[in-house]
Structure 1
């Protein structure tokens, strides 16, 4: 049975990978529809021939890497179960220490280590790819340091979650998923509050915006939007990337609007103000809180489905997986496998919600700044800096894109600009 499941798993992975290779390199069409050719959304109007070629090439490889690495994680967890590695990790933990919570820690260090090693090639290829296309400026030592930092932060958080989760499974075989979800609510809020002031500074240096004139303009915009902001933060990213970004993070008194220094170095003040107006929209429309609620609702459904699927799979394949019961720590790879698959399946819906919010934020920025030209040139520069496809293939947008495509964003701004000129002409006549 185990050999049969493993064979089917490998075949499914190969077919999945071959399908997306064929789709991305031979079938998908990323060319612009005729009606957009020659407009400001046409990459041929703001990228040279080499940049056009590189953006198409880089995007295809990057998307393929995503569609190969995601199911590879599932395959890894499947073979951890089938090869008895999960059982071995638990045996080693019981031999090493006597206390249950320490056994969980030892088991998890083994599982985390092998997972880290298995996924490291994909992480390195992604790093090397962005370095080759001059998007990443990060040296290898710095990249490896961040990978190890990720490992230990994820290990610490996972240890807390797994310890509580399996304690709940032993206490309530039927309702553990509900109790786990109830505990996840304050934990999610706590982590969101903690993220900008504890976790993010471990990776980068944050400081108040140095350009005080620009900061004054941004704070004046924040005042008009009734946002209680005292500072705009910039983060030193130029040592790691040439890409541009700005974001809003945190909740309550820890909420922050952050600009990468690459954005400050490459964009004009008008373009930066447009970006800031976009980020302020997320605060004004309470997208952070909406996202927390949405995430919790998805996690409730996810935990419920995971509980049902784990019960069914342990009953049917428990012997092949060497997992005697759902509440046994050996079932953790199965839990992680199901959660990862559910997250992938639900990603089109979560992406759709995110794209709606980003569209709302773009419209807010247009209305606040009344500067559609700054928005158009900003999105053109973002495309150039990140070698992004203006019109990505449908399945890429469906599974990956949490933002509208650059075609949609630029054409929306062009339409606004056209309507504004039309209105002015009508008023003048």
Structure 2
């Protein structure tokens, strides 16, 4: 599959080796990759606009007011009233958002040949996600409003703590109770590949008792792996696409990267950094939402910020805030991905395997980007930067390094 060109000890050309990989993505494949990823930039804006529109419609037609009134007729306690209001809000919001969700999650993915599911299978999974949302979100929202009632001005600080606790619980339970609702997880079979992953994990004291394979090929062809969970639920997972579409060198390189996330405590740090941004967002809501309610509350039937009918008002402010905060969220993730890339290269010592894996991700990630574009929109380093990092590691660490030119067509889906 790969042709080794001249041996290049001290004279290994990092830039030439990088271009050799990048030039394997040409023509229609590159145009499709670029168009799909660049279209995602607009989805950030249009997605926020769609969310604001849904919340505005709920306010404009007095639905939030009716949800709250129904809650007051059924229940006496504020917590229960808020819970029912949030339940109806979540359900109606899902229905109103469905056309946008169908376009972004099904139609567009099909247009770019990135989804293998039928519409029936896709909507089935969407309904499972809705059921989970109806089970969890109304309770979470009811707790947030209890905090708001307790401290109408300073609730945002306590609310940030509630969000943090919620995220910690979700991180712990998701691998065991949520992920299996969408995919089947089985232990990676014994053999040389498992032994190599276990040995690499043991070298860095990463728990590797549980290594799972999940059947994501039923949804799409994208390669993926992760270290998920918290405490006793920590597990290493890789999808069947990674096993079936890539070489052992690529799999080991990807798993080295994922082990890096665990070893570098990225889960804890990511939650900490994201909570900082979320806390600022809740502070903005605590100031902007009361102003909107004073100005338009009578028209919407919203009394004050402690009124659960104000939920769409909070949603509008958060939608705009999170859209503007997208680069901050992206940079938190991308910095950690850079660190995991460096760790993975040292752990796996498979620079060409990592370069090939980075190239495969070009199916849905634009391979090259300018610095501003990458700063604003990329949650991971660009494929170009990842390949160049791999080739630089190779030049620095592999004696008599040789440049490898991938054969044409190796990126084609299998």
Report the TM-score when normalising by structure 2. Answer: 0.86
- Once structures 1 and 2 are overlaid, which stretch shifts more, 139-148 or 91-100? 91-100
Matches of 2:48 and 2:20, distance apart in 1:
31
Mapping 1:202-221, distance limit 5 Å: 202-210=181-189, 212-221=191-200
Tell me: CA distance 1:43–1:155, structure 2 relative to 1, closer, same or farther (3 Å): farther
Structure 2 counterpart of 1:162, from 138, 141, 166: 141
Matches of 1:171 and 1:57, distance apart in 2:
49
> 5+ residue gaps in structure 2?
1-12, 403-414
| Partner SS state of residue 233, structure 1 | strand
User: Which residue is equivalent to 1:172?
Assistant: 151
Matches of 2:151 and 2:279, distance apart in 1:
17
User: 1:279 Cα shift?
Assistant: 0.4
**2:388 equivalent to 1:408:** no
Indicate conservation of the 8 Å contact 2:86/2:308, yes or no.
no
Tell me: CA distance 1:42–1:82, structure 2 relative to 1, closer, same or farther (3 Å): farther
User: Which residue is equivalent to 1:151?
Assistant: 130
Structure 1 counterpart of 2:314, from 308, 315, 335: 335
**2:177 equivalent to 1:194:** no
- Once structures 1 and 2 are overlaid, which stretch shifts more, 165-174 or 239-248? 165-174
| Partner SS state of residue 227, structure 2 | strand
Choose between structure 1 and 2 for higher RCO, CA contacts under 8 A separated by at least 6 residues: 2
User: Which residue is equivalent to 2:228?
Assistant: 249
Tell me: CA distance 1:395–1:113, structure 2 relative to 1, closer, same or farther (3 Å): farther
User: Which residue is equivalent to 1:46?
Assistant: 24
Mapping 1:254-403, distance limit 5 Å: 254-383=233-362, 386-392=363-369, 397-403=374-380
- Once structures 1 and 2 are overlaid, which stretch shifts more, 117-126 or 258-267? 117-126
Structure 2 counterpart of 1:67, from 45, 48, 57: 45
| Partner SS state of residue 243, structure 1 | coil
User: Which residue is equivalent to 2:86?
Assistant: 108
Tell me: CA distance 1:106–1:207, structure 2 relative to 1, closer, same or farther (3 Å): same
Matches of 1:370 and 1:36, distance apart in 2:
17
Mapping 1:83-162, distance limit 5 Å: 83-95=61-73, 100-126=78-104, 127-162=106-141
Tell me: CA distance 1:423–1:86, structure 2 relative to 1, closer, same or farther (3 Å): same
Superposed CA deviations along residues 269-312 of structure 1, whole A, max 9, x for unmatched, are 11100001000111111101111222332233222222122222
Tell me: CA distance 1:320–1:193, structure 2 relative to 1, closer, same or farther (3 Å): same
Matches of 1:393 and 1:73, distance apart in 2:
30
Superposed CA deviations along residues 117-161 of structure 1, whole A, max 9, x for unmatched, are 222122211212222332211121111111111112112221111
User: Which residue is equivalent to 1:32?
Assistant: none
**RMSD of aligned residue pairs (Cα, Å):** 2.6
Indicate conservation of the 8 Å contact 1:43/1:390, yes or no.
no
Superposed CA deviations along residues 67-123 of structure 1, whole A, max 9, x for unmatched, are 312221122212322332221222344455666555434423332232112221222
Matches of 2:146 and 2:43, distance apart in 1:
37
Q: Which has the higher helix share?
A: 1
**2:394 equivalent to 1:417:** yes
| Partner SS state of residue 40, structure 1 | helix
Report the TM-score when normalising by structure 1. Answer: 0.83
Indicate conservation of the 8 Å contact 1:234/1:258, yes or no.
yes
User: 1:229 Cα shift?
Assistant: 1.6
User: Which residue is equivalent to 1:78?
Assistant: 56
| Partner SS state of residue 325, structure 2 | helix
Superposed CA deviations along residues 327-353 of structure 1, whole A, max 9, x for unmatched, are 011101111222222222222122112
Indicate conservation of the 8 Å contact 2:91/2:134, yes or no.
no
User: 1:399 Cα shift?
Assistant: 4.2
> 5+ residue gaps in structure 1?
1-34
